């Protein structure tokens, strides 16, 4: 067996042992086919006030500008679908990916173990690991690695298990055996995600106006949520799962095995008054290791007030 084949087998075997549901490998190259789409999205201002999306345009397209001598992009997916998703009782909603420990830390630990194994076998290795934290087009690389296709809601979808996955990459100067890109798109004529989006953020197949997306409004937007979205939030206070929940491919979702992604504490049963009464010390204690820290205490409280005010007005009218 060649060294290239040996290293490729090691990557796949170790990824499986670490709990990654899928592992695919692409040749590092410039994603020329993604350039027009990204440029058009930015020119139309669909990124809202996420100014950082305008930076490093070329690096987003070419991993060789991120890692000297890059030859391979290892794409990995790990399932976060909660085993007890039906136990969520709180009237205020938090996206499933944020129920447990911050995925950045969990996945980076796994990728460090995987790269250490590569170094032990190959010796000197130049690499970087990426977990939604750098200018890398995760979904495009996952398609190139044969993992799945990008659905009309812009999420990566797997025929086997749907879309409730985190994506991560290792870009390395190692030459490995490459997978074939995923061929085809299996959304067909379905428009459930487009039809179900409460704010009309999905403006067409694979067209997302992030400035209208509930995930953007509750996390990325540092200002108050604009009044035009009053009554459209469907009680989401951090993130949103609507376009995934209605996707037919998620009927095949199976529970993830990573315990770190399971709910931390009993906050999934909190009432609206519980959320409204939350103080900063409670926030740090309950959500200190959670993705909710990305929004921060004040932003989360503002989200709660924005949603709860409309909820309470609706109850009074009834």
| Cα 303 from chain centre | 20
CA distances from residue 156 to 141, 148, 161 in whole angstroms, order as listed: 10, 6, 11
Exposed/middle/buried for 92, CB within 10 Å: 0-12, 13-18, 19+?
Answer: buried
| Residues recorded for the chain | 318
Selected catalytic residue, list 116, 120, 132, 195: 132
In whole angstroms, give the CA distance from residue 254 to residue 124: 38
Determine contact, residues 157/149, Cβ cutoff 8 Å.
yes
In whole angstroms, give the CA distance from residue 245 to residue 5: 39
Determine contact, residues 54/48, Cβ cutoff 8 Å.
no
- The set of residues, in sequence order, having a beta carbon less than 8 Å from that of 136 and lying 6+ positions away, is 60, 63, 66, 130, 169, 171
Determine contact, residues 236/218, Cβ cutoff 8 Å.
yes
State the CB neighbour count (10 A cutoff) for residue 2: 8
Q: Is the dihedral of CA 227, 229, 234, 235 positive or negative?
A: negative
Coil vs helix vs strand at 129: strand
Q: Is 132 among the residues known to form the active site? A: yes
**Catalytic (active-site) positions:** 132
């Amino acid at each position: 067996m060649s060294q290239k084949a040996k290293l490729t087998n090691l990557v796949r075997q170790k990824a499986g042992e670490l709990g990654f549901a899928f592992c695919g490998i692409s040749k590092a190259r410039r994603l020329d086919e993604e350039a027009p789409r990204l440029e058009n999205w930015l020119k139309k201002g669909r990124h809202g006030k996420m100014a950082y999306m305008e930076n490093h345009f070329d690096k987003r397209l070419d991993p060789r500008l991120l890692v000297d001598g890059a030859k391979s992009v290892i794409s990995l997916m790990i399932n976060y679908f909660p085993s007890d998703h039906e136990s969520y009782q709180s009237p205020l909603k938090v996206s499933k990916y944020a129920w447990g420990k911050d995925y950045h830390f969990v996945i980076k630990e796994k990728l460090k173990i995987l790269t250490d194994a590569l170094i032990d076998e190959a010796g000197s290795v130049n690499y970087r690991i990426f977990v939604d934290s750098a200018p890398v087009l995760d979904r495009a690389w996952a398609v190139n690695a044969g993992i799945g296709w990008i659905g009309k809601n812009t999420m990566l979808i797997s025929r086997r298990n749907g879309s409730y996955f985190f994506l991560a990459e290792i870009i390395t100067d190692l030459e490995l055996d490459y997978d074939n890109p995923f061929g085809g798109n299996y959304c067909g004529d379905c428009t459930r995600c487009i039809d179900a989006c409460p704010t009309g953020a999905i403006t067409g197949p694979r067209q997302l106006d992030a400035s209208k997306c509930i995930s953007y409004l509750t996390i990325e937007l540092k200002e108050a949520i604009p009044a035009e979205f009053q009554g459209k939030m469907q009680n989401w206070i951090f993130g949103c799962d609507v376009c995934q929940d209605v996707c037919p491919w998620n009927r095949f979702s199976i529970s993830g095995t990573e315990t770190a992604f399971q709910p931390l504490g009993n906050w999934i049963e909190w009432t609206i008054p519980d959320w409204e009464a939350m103080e900063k010390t409670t926030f740090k204690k309950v959500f200190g290791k959670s993705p909710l820290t990305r929004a921060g205490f004040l932003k989360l409280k503002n989200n709660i007030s924005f949603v709860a005010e409309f909820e309470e007005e609706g109850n009074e009218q009834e």
